[in-house]
């Protein structure tokens, strides 16, 4: 079932229930109102019947009584359908009856109820027929019970007409609203249908297309189009980055492979070579293989650092101990590099605890420290690593005394395989800082780089502190 049809049915159902309840309320309110009016009319009839009975037994010389009787008689402007009036004396005997048909017996208990309360309804309106009783006081005859009953034919006819009118009005309203719902739902969903058509034209090979947005549209569909366009922007950037990554990775992998193949081909051109020549070839081959191995390991680490955080095992890690491990491994790589460690002033042993993956965090520290040593080697500079805690953040600052970076190069240091012009002579592949950035993002941290040409480089690694429990 389409959204358009569902909307039309849902809104139509809501309106149908509302109109039905409103029609029923009108019908029953009108019925109750007419019922109350008819009951009051019957009580007035009991006064007329009681006065007529008492006046019939009185002397006609009393002129004031005759005037009163005529005034009551004028209320009988017409006879009610199936009207019947009865009078019961103090002994509950039927002494007067007006109307046609045999009189239905009246329960003595109900007559006693009328004498006690002054008025009562014997038979509530059933099929528009009602019977009421009234206690009528007369000085000569004593308390009399006057009973009147009739059928409310006017209410029957008018309520039937009202019911038909409400039923026709309800059906007409449902038809009109159903058509209106279908039309307006179609108009409301028209931008959505256009979005579906435009999305069908977007392919993985062409992510430059964007969804059309109506001018000034800020409704839910407009915001959905904006979010989808932003998603396309991210996908286009991701695909472009992937293509760049594959191109640059292929270029970096081809360099050691080309050197490796070239050395082996040259070695095979001559049948006999001196042991020194074979040793040189093997050494070049080993160097190229090591370079290829380092590059492959870096690519694997980048791929691992890009995984879903929920799939990476996390535990509490002490950064001070991890920094000492990184320092130890760094000295094996660069024995001549001077690295000064500063752990600040820690209040307790748990001051430098973060939640993360120890192997990945160690890799991030090593990459940053390794870069600092490589770029400081030419100037015989000192690398400083400072670990400190500020509030809810742990910070590792690595500063070197290398050649520094220009502003343009600084903006691309996190692009895989990017190498600044001043770093071309330094061995490397340009994946150290991008790998560290991805590892920090995986752990909810950040990495910042500041540098000036000739003033060295400072790299900040920042982690959120694990709350104590």
- 388-397 pLDDT per residue, tens: 888 788 889 9
| Residue corresponding to tokens 């492959």 | 296
- DSSP, res 101: S
Architecture of domain 312-464: 2-Layer Sandwich (3.30)
CA dist., res. 416 & res. 433, Å (int): 8
Beta pairing, strands 338-342 & 353-356? unpaired
CATH tag for 220-304 (out of 3.40.190.10, 2.60.40.10, 1.10.287.130, 1.10.12.10): 1.10.287.130
CA dist., res. 440 & res. 392, Å (int): 16
pLDDT, residue 215, reads 58
244: pLDDT strictly greater than 70: no
Q: What is the mean pLDDT of residues 2-28?
A: 85
CA dist., res. 430 & res. 295, Å (int): 10
For CATH 1.10.287.130, the residue range(s) in the chain are 220-304
| pTM to 2 decimal places | 0.48
Q: Buried b vs exposed e over 175-202: b needs ≥16 C-beta within 10 Å? A: eebbeebbeebeeebebeeebeeeeeeb
Does the CA dihedral 156-162-168-171 come out positive or negative? negative
- 327-375 pLDDT per residue, tens: 888 888 788 888 888 887 665 666 788 888 887 888 888 888 888 888 7
Cα–Cα–Cα angle for 418, 420, 424, rounded to 5 degrees? 100
For CATH 3.30.565.10, the residue range(s) in the chain are 312-464
CA dist., res. 224 & res. 213, Å (int): 10
- 74-98 pLDDT per residue, tens: 555 556 777 788 888 888 888 877 7
pLDDT, residue 26, reads 92
CATH tag for 3-159 (out of 3.30.70, 3.30.450, 1.10.940, 3.30.465): 3.30.450
455: pLDDT strictly greater than 70: yes
For residue 308, the tally of other CB atoms under 10 A from its CB is 7
pLDDT, residue 62, reads 46
CA dist., res. 52 & res. 85, Å (int): 11
Evaluate whether 49 touches 96 at the Cβ level (below 8 Å): yes
- The SS3 of residue 263 is helix
- The SS3 of residue 287 is helix
309: tokens are 């955080």
Q: What is the mean pLDDT of residues 419-446?
A: 73
65: pLDDT strictly greater than 50: no
- The SS3 of residue 449 is strand
Residues in contact with 191: Cβ distance below 8 Å, sequence separation at least 6, in sequence order = 214, 217, 221, 222, 225
What pairs with residue 393 in β-bridges?
390, 464
Q: What is the mean pLDDT of residues 429-439?
A: 77
| Residue corresponding to tokens 């009005």 | 169
First to last CA, the chain: 53
Average pLDDT, the chain: 77
For CATH 3.30.450, the residue range(s) in the chain are 3-159
pLDDT, residue 252, reads 59
Q: Residue 390 — φ and ψ, nearest 5°?
A: -130, 105
């Amino acid at each position: 079932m389409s959204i358009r049809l569902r909307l039309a049915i849902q809104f139509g159902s809501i309106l149908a229930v509302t109109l039905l309840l409103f029609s029923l309320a009108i019908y029953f309110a009108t019925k109750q109102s007419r019922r109350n009016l008819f009951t009051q009319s019957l009580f007035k009839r009991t006064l007329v019947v009681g006065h007529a009975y008492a006046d019939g037994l009185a002397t006609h010389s009393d002129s004031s009584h005759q005037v009163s009787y005529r005034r009551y008689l004028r209320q009988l402007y017409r006879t009610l359908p199936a009207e019947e009036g009865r009078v019961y004396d103090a002994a509950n005997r039927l002494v007067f009856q007006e109307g046609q048909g045999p009189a239905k017996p009246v329960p003595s208990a109900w007559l006693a109820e009328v004498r006690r309360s002054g008025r009562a309804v014997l038979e509530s309106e059933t099929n528009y027929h009602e019977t009421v009783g009234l206690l009528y006081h007369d000085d000569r005859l004593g308390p009399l019970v006057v009973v009147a009953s009739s059928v409310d034919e006017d209410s029957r006819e008018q309520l039937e007409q009202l019911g038909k009118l409400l039923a026709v009005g309800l059906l007409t309203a449902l038809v009109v609203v159903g058509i209106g719902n279908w039309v307006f739902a179609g108009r409301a969903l028209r931008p959505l249908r256009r979005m579906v058509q435009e999305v069908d034209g977007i392919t993985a090979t062409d992510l430059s297309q964007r969804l059309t947005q109506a001018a000034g549209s800020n409704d839910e569909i407009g915001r959905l189009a904006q979010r989808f366009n932003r998603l396309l922007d991210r996908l286009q950037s991701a695909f472009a980055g992937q293509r760049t990554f594959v191109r640059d990775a292929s270029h970096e992998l081809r360099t050691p492979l080309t050197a490796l193949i070239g050395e082996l081909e040259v070695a095979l051109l001559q049948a006999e070579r001196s042991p020194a020549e074979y040793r040189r070839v093997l050494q070049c081959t080993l160097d190229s293989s090591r370079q290829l191995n380092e590059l492959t390991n870096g690519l694997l680490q980048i791929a691992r650092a890009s995984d879903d955080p929920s799939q990476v095992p996390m535990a509490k890690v002490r950064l001070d101990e991890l920094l000492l491990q990184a320092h130890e491994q760094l000295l094996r790589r660069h024995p001549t590099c001077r690295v000064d460690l500063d752990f600040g002033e820690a209040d307790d042993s748990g001051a430098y605890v973060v939640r993360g993956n120890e192997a990945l965090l160690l890799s991030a520290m090593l990459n940053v420290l390794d870069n600092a040593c490589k770029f400081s080697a030419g100037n015989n500079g000192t690398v400083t690593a400072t670990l400190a805690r500020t509030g809810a953040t742990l910070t590792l600052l690595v500063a070197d005394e290398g050649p520094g970076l220009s502003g343009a190069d600084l903006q691309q240091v996190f692009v895989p395989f990017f190498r600044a012009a001043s770093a071309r002579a330094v061995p490397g592949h340009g994946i150290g800082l991008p790998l560290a950035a991805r590892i920090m993002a995986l752990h909810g941290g950040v990495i910042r780089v500041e540098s000036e040409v000739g003033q060295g480089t400072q790299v900040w690694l920042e982690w959120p502190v694990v709350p104590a429990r």
